């Protein structure tokens, strides 16, 4: 398939991390500190294309596709959907960084990738130097809001329905479903923020049935085993112990939960651990809708000693 290279000068590599093989883009300064960027649903590492050049001036960039997404391999389905749990995905990232020779790294995540980043901060706190989370509140907070109002974020429930219901629903017109979803989650309610080249990348993976199914499995894990893991972590007193910045789209879902997305994250922070954040004039896809504002909000935090 002929897809545009949106990361000129970056290396493309496939890395075996155990259960799966991750497709990853590597770029930036080789002598700089490593920064891992994790995309969300229904996208790939291409999410970072607009801000990658700015980040690459300061960091060694590692841009993987999450398991089941993009060109990373699709894991075998488990009855409890653990193969798409955030714990499994976080372990992939740790194994990837081991393979690349990086003991510690900064971590930036958007959407589902930010949920993976949250889990990694709890399961592998010794690996992180900084954590940035884009346009999410904690999974337990989201489900509390959904349980209180079934009309809130209805895709969370629908995508988590047992197979093959959501796969059939999406499969009737995967390209149309993808375009409608991407446009619907932007502030402008259109596709202008993405551009045809990025959309071609998203369409290429999302219209493959086994990858559509993997995305649904991601949401099934979010409705089940991820909630179990988060509840267990809270009960055990495990908290984020690395400086954290939270950014959200002023037109996105996090603004509709509580007085501030920061309030939702405070219970997850270890005492004395810095937490800050701000809204960005965008919908859900901050790096694509507002790349310069997003980069400006990230760099001072990521570069801080």
Strands 21-28, 60-64: pairing kind: antiparallel
Residue 284 falls in the annotated catalytic set: yes
Active-site pick, 81, 201, 229, 284: 284
Active-site pick, 111, 135, 218, 230: 111
Residue 226 falls in the annotated catalytic set: no
| Residues known to be catalytic | 111, 284
């Amino acid at each position: 398939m002929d897809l545009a290279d949106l990361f000129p000068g970056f290396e493309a590599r496939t890395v075996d991390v155990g259960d799966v093989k991750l497709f990853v883009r590597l770029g930036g300064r080789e002598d700089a500190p490593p920064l891992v960027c994790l995309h969300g649903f229904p996208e790939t590492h291409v999410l970072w294309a607009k801000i990658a050049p700015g980040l690459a001036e300061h960091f060694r960039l590692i841009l993987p596709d999450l398991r089941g997404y993009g060109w990373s391999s699709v894991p075998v389905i488990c009855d409890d959907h653990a193969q798409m749990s955030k714990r499994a995905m976080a372990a992939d990232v740790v194994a990837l960084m081991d393979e690349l020779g990086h003991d510690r790294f900064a971590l930036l995540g958007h959407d589902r990738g930010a949920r993976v980043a949250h889990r990694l901060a709890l399961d592998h706190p010794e690996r992180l130097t900084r954590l940035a989370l884009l346009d999410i509140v904690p999974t337990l907070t989201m489900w509390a809001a959904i349980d209180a109002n079934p009309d809130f974020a209805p895709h969370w429930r629908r995508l988590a329905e047992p197979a093959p219901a959501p796969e059939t629903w999406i499969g009737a017109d995967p390209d149309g479903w993808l375009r409608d979803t991407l446009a619907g989650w932007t502030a402008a309610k259109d596709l202008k923020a993405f551009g045809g080249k990025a959309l071609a990348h998203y369409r290429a993976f999302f219209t493959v049935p086994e990858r559509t199914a993997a995305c649904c499995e991601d949401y099934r894990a979010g409705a089940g085993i991820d909630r179990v893991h988060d509840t267990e972590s809270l009960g055990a007193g495990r908290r984020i112990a690395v400086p954290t910045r939270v950014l959200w789209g002023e037109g996105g879902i996090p603004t509709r939960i509580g007085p501030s997305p920061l309030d939702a994250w405070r219970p997850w922070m270890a005492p004395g651990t810095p937490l800050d954040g701000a809204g960005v004039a965008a919908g859900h896809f901050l790096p694509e809708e507002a790349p310069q504002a997003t980069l400006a909000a990230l760099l001072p935090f990521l570069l801080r000693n």
